[in-house]
Amino acid sequence: MAKQITIKCGKSKNKYASGVTAADVAKDKKIDALAASVNDKLVDLSTKIRKDSEIIFVTYDTHEGKEIFHHSTAHLMAQAVIKLYPKALPTIGPTIEGGFYYDFDHSPFSPSDLKGIEKEMRKIVTEKLEVKRKQIPYKEALKLFKKNKYKIELIKEFEKEGKKVSVYQQGKFIDLCRGPHIPNTSYLKAFKLTKVSSAYWRADSKKDSLQRIYGVSFPKESQLKNYLRLKLEAAKRDHRKIGKELDLFSFHEEGTGFPFWHNKGMIIWDEVMNYMKAMLKKNNYQEVRAPLILNKELWLKSGHWDHYKNNMYFTLIDGQEHAVKPMNCPGHILIYKNSIHSYRDLPIRMGEFGLVHRHEMSGVLAGLFRVRSFTQDDAHVFCTEDQLKDEIKKLIDFVTEVYSTFGFKDYQIELSTKPQDSMGSDDMWKNAENALSAALKEKKIDYKINPGDGAFYGPKIDFHIKDCMGRSWQCGTIQVDFSMPERFDLTYEGKNNKKHRPVMLHRAILGSMERFIGIMIEHYAGKMPAWLSPVQVKIITVADRFNKYAEGVKAKLEEEGVRVEVDNKKETIGRKVREAQIQKINYILTVGEKEEKTKTIAVRTRDNKVKMGVKPDKFLKDIVKEIKEKR
């Protein structure tokens, strides 16, 4: 008789025979699972459980579930590619936000090639191939993948870790992978290969150029159809397209990856900047500015040289190597060190709208979303350990208020923990992670752990906002740093008249001005709230003889700071209205004989509602209130 084991699943505990699989337990519990977490370890459903355990089933609606599903689809795609193109060498196929990609050493794929690959994928799905995990010795793995230099390179790295090599097999296709994966290929019912592009092996331009095929996948066809519908809507909202139509910004070959801001774009920029500066003042921040270029020695000391130099720009000054700053923190540290501080001075909150430069590969540049120079709404808080938790809570409140003002009321939080390339002791990291999690718990905020994804100098919480189409954008971050104060020997004088080490908090809310404005443009489809609109009011004249009256209304609005233009071109009213609507003006005012005689205006809102006989003073009062309240 088989040994009995206890398995806890949620609040219930049940007895099963030793060797029961996670799939058997899921079937017993009537749970439609993709994989399972057994005693906090993600495993395949085929995993046998031989001791008392706690099991949590992973479904598609979880973050882990989506990653497993998408990565399994990447394997499905790789299997189809190898079947159709036997000479293609598969390299890696990770998941990305909302989908997956796989890189192949092969000549360029065409759009028609992708359709053929999709067709082969659907055939494999119908075959319901079992996805099996195997642990094989190092030498056997080298022999198995001897014709693929990319896999050999990865296997040799696994060998350094002192582990056996994990592979997954479905049909005749075998791939290196840690897993877990879905039980069989029939789970992958709905998918779409979205695009193909070039990519370098391991993102190194000195290495081989590969073909990267991107895709998305879902458990249901209806979910795929909804995704494709949203994709069409997203294309209409593309900030690059809208930015050109509304004359907000442009990009030029003379400065690849560097945005050129036009006058109307700068109006949006200034409104966002002025609001954030007012918020800094409200939250007792000092506004500072550090130099754009600093000596190599500073970046060595901060750790950026070792961890970030491939993304930095350099220049020689007086024969010494300098770097254009990729981050603002070392400059703020030097400002802190410039004075002697007492515990009475803390917390010190420094804010900077700092222009930074980072070298991005040309293939990943994407309008305002991925650029080579951008302005961070950056800040650093220097505080005592006793103040740390309260400062984190204040930052969370700060972030929440800002997002709410811009209309982003739905966001998720991730807590990212110690990465492999971290600086500082384990105790430092534990204290920092505990401070972040304690603050979140006291604020009664749900969050997800993101293991090993912290910054190299400390753990962080990231804020992922959702736009009107449900897309997630990582913008804000709060990072605890015990390491930098140690490396730069930052101190303050404590109550006992002895020197103590402050804690440093890194925080950004918008993340980058450029990217956040790009997100806003797509969120609003270019129809910015009145307080952000470059042109809030357009006055249209019926004929030239009403120009004087229109100019008088304009002057009255401008006196109260309303941004207004008069369209007195010799064109039809319909065409003028249409042009103003294309420019997404908030309010279109029409003046003609009736309006001049009654000293009124006709007001057309952006949703095409028209109100006649409105007194200019009443309209002025209403729009000023709307702008002031940032509706």
Burial, 56: exposed, middle or buried (Cβ in 10 Å; 0-12, 13-18, 19+)?
middle
Which residue among 211, 376, 479, 536 is the active-site one? 376
Query: 392-415 burial by CB neighbour count: b if 16+ within 10 A, else e?
Result: bbbbbebbbebbebbbbeebbbbb
Instruction: Tell me phi and psi for residue 528, to 5 degrees.
Output: -70, 150
Kindly report whether the peptide bond that precedes residue 183 is cis, defined as omega within 30 degrees of 0. no
Residue 582 one-letter amino acid = I
Handedness of CA 595, 600, 605, 608 (dihedral sign): negative
Which distant-in-sequence residues (6+ apart) come within 8 Å of 335 by Cβ? 288, 290, 350
Q: What is the DSSP string of 81-141?
A: HHHH-TT-EE----EETTEEEEEEESSPPPHHHHHHHHHHHHHHHHTT-B-EEEEE-HHHH
CA dist 182 and 330 (Å) reads 46
CA dist 410 and 436 (Å) reads 20
Which residue among 44, 70, 170, 329 is the active-site one? 329
Which distant-in-sequence residues (6+ apart) come within 8 Å of 281 by Cβ? none
Which residue among 103, 113, 175, 378 is the active-site one? 378
Query: 354-371 burial by CB neighbour count: b if 16+ within 10 A, else e?
Result: bebbbeeeeeeeebbbbb
Q: Does the annotation count 625 as an active-site position? A: no
Q: Does the annotation count 545 as an active-site position? A: no
Kindly report whether the peptide bond that precedes residue 451 is cis, defined as omega within 30 degrees of 0. no
Which residue among 380, 563, 584, 604 is the active-site one? 380
The DSSP bridge pattern shows strands 89-90 and 99-105 to be antiparallel
Q: Does the annotation count 380 as an active-site position? A: yes
Instruction: Tell me phi and psi for residue 319, to 5 degrees.
Output: 80, 0
Question: CA of 357: how far to CAs of 313, 372, 484, 603, in Å?
Answer: 7, 6, 21, 45
Q: Does the annotation count 376 as an active-site position? A: yes
Which residue among 71, 460, 538, 563 is the active-site one? 460
Q: Does the annotation count 378 as an active-site position? A: yes
Which residue among 239, 372, 506, 523 is the active-site one? 506
Which residue among 358, 418, 515, 584 is the active-site one? 358
Active site residues: 329, 358, 376, 378, 380, 460, 506
